[in-house]
Amino acid sequence: MSYLLRIDASASGDASVSRRVADSFTAAWGGDIVRRDLALDPVGHLDAAGITARTTPAHEHSPEQKAAALLQDELVEEFLGAQAYLFAVPLYNYSMPSVFKAWLDQIMIVGRTIGTAGRAPSAGRPAVVVSARGGGYGPGAPQHGKDFLVPALRTMLGDPNLMSLDVRPITPELTYASTVESLRHLLPQHRASLEEAHAQARRQAAEITAVVAAGRSGLTGAR
């Protein structure tokens, strides 16, 4: 079977809740894993050379365009070679870490990862997004409506006119309850959210492993 591509974006190392929940997923995964840690080895932001290299014939590339094209080729081939994805992307300042956005900008290329006829090469492949957040962002919470990460990734990764992945968020909340004194009273809710996140990760891993191994499409499951 093909591999799972795991992308980590948290700067918190082993203390990262997103990483630890993602670890529960990989522990239950039944196949090969290719891992890219953007905190330890970030990719460069998309620049003029990277943009123009996409529309300039290869034999006309400048040295900067050649280097940019090589990086994009590496990242795109790694992305397209996977049959499933695991993105550990915490909520930073209401959005995604810049290292993850830089990676996305490098791989989102019309005609390669973005379909030109309404059908992307990765269409239907499952993409689990583990996104821990310090507060609560669900209905009724003070921060409700201020999560600009999951909605953005649903569009960039899941839109049928873009990459058309089957995006499956897992969002452990209230992580600040364990470190911020004024939020200590929310520890029970945080622990329940974290326990459910680990359980979701294990369930998703088992389901996706089975479906990918069987070569089926039309994946379903808890979002």
CATH of the domain at 162: 3.40.50.360
The answer to whether position 60 is within a domain reads yes
Task: Give the integer Cα–Cα distance in Å for 28 and 36.
Answer: 19
Of the candidates 170, 166, 163, the residue with the CA atom closest to the CA atom of residue 149? 170
Q: Which domain holds residue 117?
A: 3-214
Q: How many domains does the chain have?
A: 1
What's the confidence (pLDDT) of residue 216? 56
The answer to whether position 198 is within a domain reads yes
Residue 101 has, within 13 A of its CA and on its CB side, a CA count of: 11
Overall average pLDDT of the 16-43 stretch: 97
What's the confidence (pLDDT) of residue 215? 79
Long-range contacts of 71-75 (CB under 8 A, 24+ apart): 71/43, 71/44, 71/106, 72/106, 72/107, 72/109, 75/43, 75/103, 75/106, 75/107
The answer to whether position 223 is within a domain reads no
Tokens of 216: 């089926």
The answer to whether position 128 is within a domain reads yes
The answer to whether position 220 is within a domain reads no
pLDDT digits (tens, 9 = 90+) for 126-172: 999 999 999 999 898 889 999 999 999 999 999 999 999 999 999 99
Per-residue pLDDT band at 118 (split at 50, 70, 90): low
pLDDT digits (tens, 9 = 90+) for 178-219: 999 999 999 999 999 999 999 999 999 999 999 888 875 444
Overall average pLDDT of the 104-123 stretch: 91
What's the confidence (pLDDT) of residue 223? 35
Task: Give the integer Cα–Cα distance in Å for 107 and 129.
Answer: 17
Per the listing, tokens 């499956």 go with 168
What's the confidence (pLDDT) of residue 159? 94
Answer positive or negative: Cα dihedral of 148, 96, 159, 141.
negative
The answer to whether position 194 is within a domain reads yes
The answer to whether position 222 is within a domain reads no
What's the confidence (pLDDT) of residue 200? 98
pLDDT digits (tens, 9 = 90+) for 51-109: 999 999 999 999 999 999 999 999 999 999 999 999 999 999 999 999 999 999 999 99
